[in-house]
Amino acid sequence: MTFAASSTAVDTEILSSAAAAEYIAEGCLVDGPVGCVGLEVEGHCFDPADPLRRPSWGEIGDVLKWLSPLPDGSAISVEPGGAVELSGPPMVGVLPAIDAMARDQAVLRSAFAEAGLGLVFLGADPLRPPHRINPGARYRAMEEFFASSHSGEAGAAMMTSTASIQVNLDAGPQADWAARVRLAHALGPTMIAIAANSPMLDGDFSGWQSSRQRVWGQMDSARCGPILGVSGDDPGTDWARYALKAPVMLVHQPDAVAVTQYVPFTDWVDGRVLLGGRRPTVADLEYHLTTLFPPVRPRQWLEIRYLDSLPDRYWPAVVATMVTLLDDPVAADLAADAVEPVATAWDTAARVGLGDRRLRRAAKRCIAIAADRVPPALGDAMQPLIRNVEGGRCPADDFADEVFEHGIAQTVTQLAQGGL
């Protein structure tokens, strides 16, 4: 999914925080029906012959230059640490979105296999230390920004060692926005517990089922925390307030340059600080919004950003569950009740997953609600996830079992070769 064209010229200077807030609030969600689903899936790139080695920018580029376009239209990008992302176009319905992503993913894997490389779908790189290979100016500046902040270590890990599945959904009818955004947040801990798939980071067990979520939790909450206000009744105002308080990360002069002092966007737009010797434009504001990473981000649609990357055994069922619980109105009401007791248990979900009895209870209810309503063609795909939740397990437990039996290097090699 992409931004629709703005009616405001991108080089127009914004003259006040009030004008910026109005622009953000009015454009962050689009009124309309639900039904479209867009998926983004990331996988870490490994060399199966030497899983400690990080394939270079050139090696990955040599594979990708032959792959455009993919048969079902997914765009390909490379994350700072070399993780490869497929971004599927919006499809009407969850089943077409899953099928299209699975076909494009199969083509991508085949191309990497032919090059002697492989993709590993875990929420965090379990073996290699953080290291940036993407030479893009945006990522160089991001690295400098994080290095200058108190979240430098977490920022490096976030950029180069984490991977996710992102689910993009229509905002829906305006009258339902507040309830829909609240539910997307409230589902977070339960879905994190269900999908946790990163018990290791940088060669060690972290003590967390989702090391990815732990890393994000260590980031500056002004940039990566939930956007909900006190009541959550006005998502547009909540997002505007969040965005204006968040520190500016990058300024284009014309290339991206890191802002290494703490400057909330509101200080820039109100003229208390001039970055690049000027006030911000609409383009600066829109770019600033792309540097904010809350777990649910409004970009005219809703980006659900809190799921670990998952193997084929689980991701279609997790995606179907997520979409069903938000887009089916009966399921949404039932899910809101099921997750209410654990709606803010983000850290507990990431640390112990379904080992927490309240999260396990909520997960069982949510999976049962979804299983009764997903398209029949996904019934078989739901079964491994249902068994996991019933047993209080998450994908991280499967991975950990393999590591204990075979060792981390061999396990990563097998995953990169499409095994396990």
Q: Could you give the CA distance from residue 53 to residue 55 in angstroms, rounded to a whole number?
A: 6
Q: Is residue 164 part of a domain?
A: yes
pLDDT at 9: 72
Could you tell me if 202 and 130 are in contact, meaning their C-beta atoms sit under 8 angstroms apart? Answer: yes
DSSP state of 66: T
Q: For the chain, what is the domain count?
A: 1
pLDDT at 228: 84
Q: Is 13 helix (H, G, I), strand (E, B) or coil?
A: strand
Residue 190: phi and psi, rounded to 5, are -65, -45
Q: Is residue 28 part of a domain?
A: no
pLDDT at 8: 60
Confidence of residue 68 (pLDDT cuts 50, 70, 90): confident
Angle CA(373)–CA(376)–CA(382) in degrees, nearest 5?
75
Q: Is residue 406 part of a domain?
A: yes
Structure tokens at 66: 């032959």
In sequence order, what are the residues at sequence separation of 6 or more whose Cβ sits closer than 8 angstroms to the Cβ of residue 363?
Answer: 190, 193, 194, 354, 389
Which amino acid makes up residue 62?
A: D
CA distances 298 to 7, 191, 215, 417, Å, are 18, 19, 22, 36
pLDDT at 151: 86
Structure tokens at 401: 């079992």
CA distances 4 to 8, 30, 180, Å, are 12, 10, 21
Residues in the chain: 420
Cis peptide before 69 (omega within 30 of 0): yes
Residue whose structure tokens are 């539910």: 183
- Summarize the confidence of residues 103-116 as an average pLDDT: 97
- Summarize the confidence of residues 52-74 as an average pLDDT: 95
The whole-chain average pLDDT of the chain stands at 95
Q: Is residue 388 part of a domain?
A: yes
Q: Is residue 314 part of a domain?
A: yes
pLDDT at 404: 97
E strands, 171-249, where? 200-201, 204-205
Confidence of residue 231 (pLDDT cuts 50, 70, 90): confident
pLDDT digits (tens, 9 = 90+) for 168-220: 999 999 999 999 999 999 999 999 999 999 999 999 999 999 999 999 999 99
Highest mean pLDDT among 8-17, 231-240, 322-331: 322-331
pLDDT digits (tens, 9 = 90+) for 22-61: 999 999 999 999 999 999 999 999 999 999 999 999 999 9
Which amino acid makes up residue 345?
A: A
CATH code: domain of residue 97 = 3.30.590.20
Q: Is the confidence at residue 230, as pLDDT, over 80?
A: no
Number of Cβ within 10 Å of residue 66's Cβ equals 9
* pTM of full prediction above 0.85: yes
Q: Is the confidence at residue 4, as pLDDT, over 50?
A: no
pLDDT digits (tens, 9 = 90+) for 323-375: 999 999 999 999 999 999 999 999 999 999 999 999 999 999 999 999 999 99
Query: CB burial class (10 A; 0-12, 13-18, 19+) of residue 135?
Result: exposed
Portion of the chain with pLDDT greater than 70, in percent: 97
Number of Cβ within 10 Å of residue 202's Cβ equals 15
Q: Is residue 18 part of a domain?
A: no
**Where are the alpha helices (H) located in 77-176, listed in sequence order?**
94-114, 137-147, 152-161
Structural domain including 106 reads 34-133+140-172+188-218+295-415
Number of Cβ within 10 Å of residue 150's Cβ equals 12
Cis peptide before 254 (omega within 30 of 0): yes
Q: Is residue 57 part of a domain?
A: yes
Q: Could you give the CA distance from residue 33 to residue 50 in angstroms, rounded to a whole number?
A: 49
Could you tell me if 194 and 320 are in contact, meaning their C-beta atoms sit under 8 angstroms apart? Answer: no
Query: CB burial class (10 A; 0-12, 13-18, 19+) of residue 2?
Result: exposed
Residue 167: phi and psi, rounded to 5, are -110, 120
Q: Is residue 22 part of a domain?
A: no
